[in-house]
Amino acid sequence: METDKFINTTFAGCKIIEKLGQGGMGAVYKAHNAGLDKIVCIKMLSTELARESRNVEFFLREARSAAKLDHPNIVQIYHFGQENGQYFIIMSYVEGKSLADIISEGGPLPVSEATRIIVDILEALEHAHSKSIVHRDIKPQNILISKDGQIKLVDFGLARSITEEKQLTIAGELVGTAYFMSPEQGLAQKVDHRADLYSTGATYYYILMGQYPFEGKTSLEVIHKHITETLPNIALRKPEIPLWVSKVIETLMRKKPQDRYQTAGDAVDDILKNVSAPRKRADGSERTLNIPSITEKIKEEEPEPGEPETPDGIVIDRYSIEEQVAKPKQEAKAEPAAKPSKPVKIRSDVSINFMKLAGHIALTTAVLACFLTAGVLPSNLTRAMGPIFSNPLSSALLILLGMAGFVWALVLKPFKFTGFYAAAAVLLMFFSYLGGTIVEYPPDISGIFARIYHTILLTLANLAAKDNLIIYSVFFYFIGSKLSLKKAWTSKFPGFLISAAGIACAYAYFRLPAQDTGNAAFLIASVLLFGAGMAAGVMQKEFSFIWNPYLLFLASNASIALFLSLPQIEVIKIHKIKEDRTNVEKLRKEDYAKKLQGIQASEENYIPEYDSEGRPIEKPKTKINVNQEIKPTPENELKNQAVKEYLRYNVFKFRENAGKSGGYLLISLFLLLLLNVNFFEEIIYFYKKVRYLE
């Protein structure tokens, strides 16, 4: 390899001994520095990356950032610069392993060892932050542990000074590692020292649990979970971990920077308060740890006693989990009209009509129950049609009973078959079935009635869940628009309030924690469209396709969705641009290497030619041209891809969350309400019409 030429040579006053590894920026060597008379580490920027000034500045910024720091837990920089066109950094050599390797080989660390490591890292960050240096890439791979237990924070390649004016990162460019990235980094926002605290909390979680706080199939999915999802409960996953540790990690990893510890020192004080340990050794010496995976290999020497683990005396049963208790809304029942003074047709009699309403409620509820039961039938298949294929007879019977209930309900209706009613009924059957099929049942729940009971409880427990807000938004929009068209103000005013509640639900659903909002024009448009919808509800006297509360309130909801979605789409687009540019550069390098290999092969097989006087004819050197056909994907195309990916993600998110929170059954309950409200309106309309004719 090209970098092997440095081995056993003298470079920048150092005798290079061996190559330690190859990283993203270049190679790392072990060497002996004659001036210092000690073993050092030399990091060299790769020749290819050195061709771009931005890469050189990134590389040298690491040296400048770390050189400002003087702390026992931060790798020491001795020298950096350029020699013979090769950029280098000479730093202290740590003989040991990275924290990532230790976890990979030996699994999660005990609480005492993990906590001591995190305290040292936080103290190192406290020093760096005091010099206005933000690391921006805290992760186990960048934490080294020497054989004598010393902790060293390395790789300040992404670090930057909070006060520096020159920004090397392109606006909106993501920096950091997805598994440990703070929400503000994932949203490509401006970050400060509190982003390091979030990454430290994610590292603390990882070395205790042996798994990442959030996982996914792609980096984008992981980043999105850091931004939107709640941190998994450590106490439930690993009850032996003290509760104060869970609280520290939860505080470090809060979504909004202002909700975290405000300094690394605050976090250290909180931790040491729980372990009853001093803040710093009196002599200022480095803290040493007894890490079994490393120290056992050098146990021929007298072992250094480790610090005792502080007993916490915590009983896990005392841990309380906040439960959201959703109080079901009680629908106000309209008072029946007074009985007419003279007999009317039996079909318009108040008592008979309300008996029909009660019968209709019972029938539509039975339809829901039949399809829900069909969905909860045991199945070995994971797909939605699993219960039907696994239990065809039971499923067919339940579906037929449900269809019969629907037909019976139609018989009771004054206007019989209508398009709206039929569509709502079909959706009721569909979502009732899905409500039983998609739910993930615990292994100990196998009976049909137990599954139904579990599904109902799950839905009720998640009535106030954020994942279900989009369902409320859709139904509030529909009901509010419908009421806005009524003649009476007693209907219009509640309709406007319900429509506004629907827009608020849409805002809360699409809004991400710590998110910068989008173009204010969409917010203004939403307000104006909502006002136009209210005006249409007040002024409209005949049907209009445009001047219509349904259309205007829908446009208002769409404007809110765009207002909050466009910044997220922009983040995805920036991520795709970065990946596309990286891929183009890779393809160009491969093309260059192939052409160079072909030229070298032709030169090896080249037969010299001579002129008439016997002088050799010099062949002109072949110029290697970069393949101009390898071009970055146009930004418009990448933006379209980002929009599609965002829509696919939200559809997937809704499907997944609706199964976990009982959302499909909640939709069924709303449809059940709509069907019976529609039936009630028809009865009232028919009753008034008959009375008028009589």
With beta carbons less than 8 A apart as the criterion, state whether 467 and 658 touch: yes
DSSP state, residue 519:
-
φ, ψ dihedrals at 342, nearest 5°: -125, 155
Cα–chain-centroid distance for residue 189?
Answer: 15
The residues near 483 (Cβ < 8 Å, ≥ 6 apart) are 491, 492, 494, 495, 498
With beta carbons less than 8 A apart as the criterion, state whether 205 and 248 touch: no
Q: Which secondary-structure segment (H or E) carries 22?
A: strand 14-22
Report the distance separating Cα 329 and Cα 501, nearest Å.
14
Pick the catalytic residue from 120, 137, 196, 580: 137
Number of neighbouring beta carbons within 10 Å of residue 644: 12
Which amino acid, 46?
S
With beta carbons less than 8 A apart as the criterion, state whether 640 and 577 touch: no
Report the distance separating Cα 212 and Cα 201, nearest Å.
11
Report the distance separating Cα 378 and Cα 443, nearest Å.
12
DSSP string computed for 101-121? HHHHHH-SPPHHHHHHHHHHH
**Active site (annotated) includes residue 137:** yes
Instruction: Decide: helix, strand or coil at residue 680.
Output: helix
Half-sphere exposure of 590 (CA within 13 A, CB side): 7
Q: Where are the alpha helices (DSSP H) in 179-325?
A: 183-186, 193-209, 219-228, 234-237, 243-252, 264-275, 292-295
Dihedral over alpha carbons 575, 577, 581, 586 (to 10 degrees) = 50
Catalytic residues: 137
